[in-house]
Structure 1
Amino acid sequence: MKLYLDSANLNEIDECLSRGFLAGVTTNPSILSKEPKTDFVPHIRKIADLLRDHGQLLPLSVEVFAREAEDMVAQAHDLVNRIEYENINIKVPIGWDELGVIAQLVRDGIRVNCTCLFTEAQCALAANANATYVSIFMGRLKDVHCDPLPVISNTRRMLDQSGSAAEIIVGSIRHERDILEAHLAGAHIVTAGAAQLRKMTQHPQTTKSVDGFLSDFEQWLK
């Protein structure tokens, strides 16, 4: 069960890294827009430095924000060259022209995380274009009253049967229970916000049990 943090907040990334469970970090333009306005690339470099400081060259996904295919390719190369992180993955949204972007970047030796996926067909095309990751948006599928779990499980079965090396990342997580459901449906990876990851540690009975153990022991010590 691999967990990524979906955040560009340096404090959140540092906190999750220090707790030892994190397997990667994903960002997107919306997530970055929540941070104090600053130069984009230096901020991503700070994230990369945090990953290095913790002794882990974990996967880091950064999304292009150009709209035209040629500009996406150029921007992807610029990001890779300027961020200078050994395990960077460039996020490219699915689309007809974007498939050409993915194929070109892969030929150029750049790992791609194909994002904004909502159907098995989209995932199949991205995987066949040799994307390293195919990212399914769980919460946004629910927003349009679609069950995301069959999409995840069908995609996993399809990838396994074809021998594809692509891994499924499930994002757009709205509730901590979605994390486990996505994994059980076949996701290789789930990327979630710090709030959802933190809630995974919590249960009323855990708090009650710990308080009871400590109270009993403190009484015994008196």
Structure 2
Amino acid sequence: MQEIKKAFDLYPMSGVTTNPTIISKEKRNFIDILKEIRNEIDEDKMLHVQVISQKAEEIVKEAEYLKELIGGNIYIKISVIPEGIKAIKILKKKGINITATDIFTAEQALMAAIAGAQFVAPYVNRIDNISGNGVDVVVQIIQLFKAHNISAKVLAVSFKNVQQVHQVALAGGQSVTVNAEVMDKLLSHPLTDSSVEQFISDWESVYGKGKYTYDVSHIEINN
């Protein structure tokens, strides 16, 4: 929760993406965790929550339960298995937002989007780890959506470095989910740090340590 608080305090965040593995590491009540996240990020921010069921009817039941209990701008994450696609079709008619997940090919993303998913979540680094190219899959998804005039968006997930995020952004991916380490590194650069240090050193040599712009308007400088 501290990482979420930090991210929303510092960065331009659209929402939070959860998955069963991340949630289970907390070893406490699942719904309590989701409610805490919702309270922290406000009602209008997206909260992507994954269901566990593998049968369409149960997926729909879980989705309706989570929508009712958590509320706000919630997206139900559904795996792109056949029963998941069936559930996406049903939930689309019920007006429940869907993020199709566990995507490893452009065809899976296309199928889910046509069924009614608003977001598709390709696993960039996991694709790389099986000798694929996660960024290329994102590119293919975007091309297919444009070719078929599909409004669904790419929410790319599974990143290990800034370069992957950079390439997905260049490809036109609309959203990414990253961990705290990658998030911080998106802004990190040694030349930025050295520039800030130099500016502060030059300023303090004249105006004094700990003085800010609003402190020095009345200070006279001896030349």
TM-score, length basis structure 2? 0.89
RMSD: 1.4
Aligned residue among 85, 88, 108 for 1:122: 108
Instruction: Give 1:161 shift.
Output: 2.1
AA paired with 2:77?
K
Secondary structure of residue in 2 paired with 1:164: coil
Query: For this pair of structures, how many residues does the alignment match?
Result: 208
Q: Which residue does the alignment assign to 1:40?
A: 30
Aligned residue among 135, 138, 153 for 1:167: 153
Give me the whole-angstrom Cα distance separating, in 2, the residues matched to 1:121 and 1:150.
13
Give me the whole-angstrom Cα distance separating, in 2, the residues matched to 1:135 and 1:184.
17
Secondary structure of residue in 1 paired with 2:45: coil
Q: Which residue does the alignment assign to 2:61?
A: 74
Q: Which residue does the alignment assign to 1:86?
A: 72
Instruction: Give 1:69 shift.
Output: 2.4
Alignment of 1:154 with 2:140, yes or no, is yes
AA paired with 1:71?
E
Give me the whole-angstrom Cα distance separating, in 1, the residues matched to 2:195 and 2:25.
38
TM-score, length basis structure 1? 0.89
Secondary structure of residue in 2 paired with 1:192: coil
AA paired with 2:10?
R
Gaps of 5+ in 1: 1-9
Instruction: Give 1:20 shift.
Output: 4.2
Give me the whole-angstrom Cα distance separating, in 2, the residues matched to 1:147 and 1:118.
10
Q: In percent, how many aligned pairs have the same letter?
A: 29
Gaps of 5+ in 2: 209-223
Q: Deviations over 1:192-217 (max 9, x none)?
A: 11111011121111111111121122
Quick check: 2:162–2:186 contact (8 Å CA) kept in 1? yes
Secondary structure of residue in 2 paired with 1:115: strand
Give me the whole-angstrom Cα distance separating, in 2, the residues matched to 1:79 and 1:214.
50
Q: Which residue does the alignment assign to 2:85?
A: 99
Give me the whole-angstrom Cα distance separating, in 2, the residues matched to 1:201 and 1:124.
33
Give me the whole-angstrom Cα distance separating, in 1, the residues matched to 2:101 and 2:34.
19
AA paired with 1:45?
K
Alignment of 1:57 with 2:44, yes or no, is yes
Q: Which residue does the alignment assign to 1:18?
A: 9
Q: Deviations over 1:105-160 (max 9, x none)?
A: 11111111000101111011001101010100001001101111221111111112
Quick check: 2:135–2:164 contact (8 Å CA) kept in 1? no
AA paired with 1:14?
K
Secondary structure of residue in 1 paired with 2:6: helix
Secondary structure of residue in 2 paired with 1:156: helix
Give me the whole-angstrom Cα distance separating, in 1, the residues matched to 2:106 and 2:14.
25
Larger radius of gyration: 2
Give me the whole-angstrom Cα distance separating, in 1, the residues matched to 2:38 and 2:78.
19
AA paired with 2:182?
Q
Q: Which residue does the alignment assign to 2:195?
A: 209
